[in-house]
Structures are given as C-alpha cells and as structure tokens.
Amino acid sequence: MKRNIIITGGAGFIGSHVVRLFVNKYPDYRIINVDKLTYAGNLANLRDIEDRPNYRFVKMDICDFEAVSALIKEENVDGIIHLAAESHVDRSIKDPFTFARTNVLGTLSLLQAARLNWEPIGWHRHSEESSDIRIPCRFYHVSTDEVYGALALDKPEGNPPYGTDFFREDTPYNPHSPYSASKASSDHFVRSFHDTYGMPVVISNCSNNYGPYQFPEKLIPLFINNIRHGKPLPVYGKGENVRDWLYVEDHARAIDLIFHEGRTAQTYNIGGFNEWKNIDLIKVMIKTVDRLLGNPEGHSLGLITFVTDRAGHDLRYAIDSTKLHNELGWAPSLQFEEGIEKTVRWYLDNQEWMDNVTSGEYQRYYEEMYGLTCDNN
C-alpha cells in the first residue's frame, strides 16, 4: 500500500533517523520531510538519502497554517509523524515564548490543517492504485517523558533502578519546566482532536535519546566533543540526577511500529530500561573516549566541573515500556554500554560533521545544495 507521509522535524536528531528508516524501509511510501531548519535542523544528517525518489524536503514553519494545509492537500497526505519541537530545557528557561509558539501553536496548526483535509473524506483517502482501497489517516505525535514531572530517588545507592516508581501511560501530568509544559499542552491538544472530532491519533512519550547526529548542546555529544578538545565538562549539582537513556535507532523502530500497529487514541511509553546517574554516565563516557583516543585511563576525569544546579531540575526519570513490549513486541536492541560505544565511535569518526555543526560551517551547505538559508536563533 502506497502512503504519503509528512514527518515534521525530519532534519533534526530523532527526526532524521525516522526519515532515513522510512525512506529505506518503505520505497513505495512518499516521505515529505518538513523542517524549518532552525539551529538544530541539519540537512547534512540526511545526505545519504536526499536523492531518493521517494523523498522530498520542504522548508516550512509548522506554525504557518495555510502553507501546512496546502502541502497536505498537494501531496494527498494520509499520515503525519510530528517530531518538530523546541526541545532543550535550558533554552526554554531563557525563552519560553519560542517553546510555546513551536510546540503548542505549531502542533495546533498541524492538527487543524490535517482535520480540515481529512474529516471531509471520513479520515480515509482513496489510494492512487485503486478507488476501492481506502487508506486510513493517522496523526502521530511524538512527545517526552518530561511531561510526567519527576520521580522520587528513593533507592539512591547501589544498582538501578534508583526508585520504586516509574512513568506509565496513566501517570498524571506534572511538568516542571517551560519545555515540558509546552509539550504537555501539545499532548492535550492532540487528545482533544480525537475526543472532539474523531481524529485518528496516537501519542508516544520517550526517555532521553542518544546516538549519531545529535546537536551538541545535549549532554552526550557535548561531552564527547569537550573531552576530545580537553574542555571542562559542566555537571549540574552533584551529578546525582537520574535519566533513562534510549538509543535513537531503537526509538525510530518504536515509532515505525506505533505508527503502523499502535491502537488509535492510545499512548505508548518508549524507554531504554537504562537508568543512569549523570555522574556515572559521564565517567563511562570519559573512560570510553579516552580509550578510543589512546589516552591513559582516567586522563580526562579532571575535566569534570561541578556547576550550580539549574532551576527546576527534575531528580529522576524512568519509563515503564511494558505496554509497548506486550502489545507490539518492541524492546531496545542495545544496552547503554553498547550504545555509548557505538555513539562515541561515530562522533570520533565523524569529526568533520561535529566541527561543521559547532562552527556554523554546515549553514553554507544549505545554500550550496538547496539555495536555502538557515535560521539560527
């Protein structure tokens, strides 16, 4: 069955992995990558598939309702996988308005544009192959575990898990940062469009992702790059905050499964079953990077620099992915030690990518390849 799918935020970290998976796995699908190309959107992430016949890139702001609606109609779109978002907590603390605009109003723009195109055709479109084939429409919203708030760190010593409770699909929302508040609001809008209009929607909430092509404002690529250059490794507080880590390609596999097989109006949590205290994770990264660079063991431990904790820093996140495993058979393919080894090797083997991103060199790539400029605000 041929499908026409918009993937928003497809030039970003997680989005580029989802785009690559769908373009390669489903050659009969038409994949339309919609991205505004803000600072974290990088088309160089998709150089290996940019010439594929089933792939199209469209530079677009999802808040532009008229443009989004016209694109859905032009491409006869039957599926939207919505990943476009402002996603860095620190940035949300400094600029909450941008997060509200993109994450809330942008999601609402997509929902309304999809509804006005899909509702008149009964949430199904006729296939180009046969008018007897009706393809069900679906709006898939990718969200975060941060909407749930924070969990107690009631088992701080010993091996993980570091607490007795976990985020489940029925955990009440309790966001603590402007970022998580904006994502919680967007989740509610998605559910409201199902409850009010009957739109076929599905939502997933994921834990912290890591892997290739992540913009180096996030902890793992930032620290790999800083270790490589001998720069300080800023650690909030005492480094005791706990996060659950998910390898990005495992996340992309889960998104594929949920889009195709997940039940309408359901929420699925996606986690790596990998709880790590920040300080322990950082020490594993240091050990791995030093070994691969040929440095003596412990060479970069002195780069750890403890800094004042950030406002509203949630203590512990941990996701229970049992529902996703039981219903759709998904499980993470890598444990953290394996994933971090692959990730460190990728960044060290692709230092040109990292240097281009951190220097702004990649912006020239847009102009040369696509005649585009990149917003960098």
Distance CA 332, CA 365 (A): 34
Query: Which H or E element spans position 219?
Result: helix 219-229
Measured from the Cβ of residue 240, the count of other Cβ atoms closer than 10 Å reads: 17
145 assigned to active site: yes
Half-sphere exposure for 58 (CA within 13 Å, toward CB): 20
In a domain, 44, yes or no: yes
- Candidates 179, 210, 213, 347; catalytic one: 179
Residue 124: CATH number of its domain: 3.40.50.720
256 assigned to active site: no
Per-residue confidence (pLDDT) for residue 341, from 0 to 100? 95
Q: Return the percentage of the chain with pLDDT > 90, whole number.
A: 79
327 assigned to active site: no
Containing domain of residue 112, as a range? 4-211+247-275+312-336
Whether the model clears a pTM of 0.85, i.e. scores above it, the answer is yes
In a domain, 21, yes or no: yes
In a domain, 373, yes or no: no
In a domain, 139, yes or no: yes
- Candidates 35, 145, 169, 256; catalytic one: 145
Q: How many domains does the chain fold into?
A: 1
In a domain, 136, yes or no: yes
Convert 198-214 to b/e letters by CB count within 10 Å (16 or more is b).
ebbbbbbbbbbbbbbbb
In a domain, 291, yes or no: no
Per-residue confidence (pLDDT) for residue 63, from 0 to 100? 98
In a domain, 225, yes or no: no
Q: Check whether 32 has a pLDDT greater than 90.
A: yes
| Residue carrying the six token digits 């880590």 | 245
pLDDT tens digits for 308-341? Answer: 877 767 889 999 999 999 999 999 998 888 999 9
In a domain, 194, yes or no: yes
Distance CA 301, CA 289 (A): 11
- Candidates 78, 146, 169, 244; catalytic one: 146
pLDDT tens digits for 190-199? Answer: 999 999 999 9
SS3 state at 31: strand
pLDDT tier, 376 (very low <50, low <70, confident <90, very high otherwise): very low
